[in-house]
Amino acid sequence: MGHDIGSLAMPRAGLSVPGASRPVEVVSVHPMPPRRPSTMAAWQDGLRGLPATSDDTLRVLAGDFNATLDHAETRGVLDRGYVDAAAHLGQGLTGTWPVGAPLPKAAIDHVLVDDRVSVDELEILDVPGTPHRALVAGLTLPHGTV
């Protein structure tokens, strides 16, 4: 199951984590890049179509958002109950794309977590063969019952 925008799918996976207070859903985020006026609407629709947090499920949205935290569309996603893992740990301006290009790196790859999830650590790593850096987040889910 996923949210399909233009030619890019954004699949979701449900997880049952022992001891977690709720089921967990992870969404692989990759909206259409806003490279020209004709792709702007698909990019906006992709970010606007991401699910909000909910009482019954903990969500993690992770991937290439094709947007920095300065974009209104990204702030709109955060306003739906999410925290940016990198920003939370003081790394929100660390560039993730493009690697190996003369352009300055922009922070367009993100791990957004439900604000009930604790962000414990984050590594931003170079990955050979891709122009994006990887974000590896250490998270603690809330324990207990719903």
Question: In residues, how long is the chain?
Answer: 146
Residues of the chain by 3-state class (helix, strand, coil), percent to 5: 15, 40, 45
2-140 placed in CATH 3.60.10.10: yes
Question: Per residue in 81-127, pLDDT tens?
Answer: 999 999 999 999 999 999 988 888 999 999 999 999 999 999 999 99
Question: Per residue in 18-51, pLDDT tens?
Answer: 999 899 999 999 999 999 999 999 999 999 999 9
pLDDT of residue 5: 47
Segments making up each domain of the chain, as ranges: 2-140
Q: What are phi and psi of 121, to 5 degrees?
A: -160, 160
Neighbours of 43 (CB within 10 A): 22
**Six-digit token string for 94:** 């660390």
Contact of 122 with 111, CB cutoff 8 Å: yes
Q: Is this model's pTM higher than 0.85 or not?
A: yes
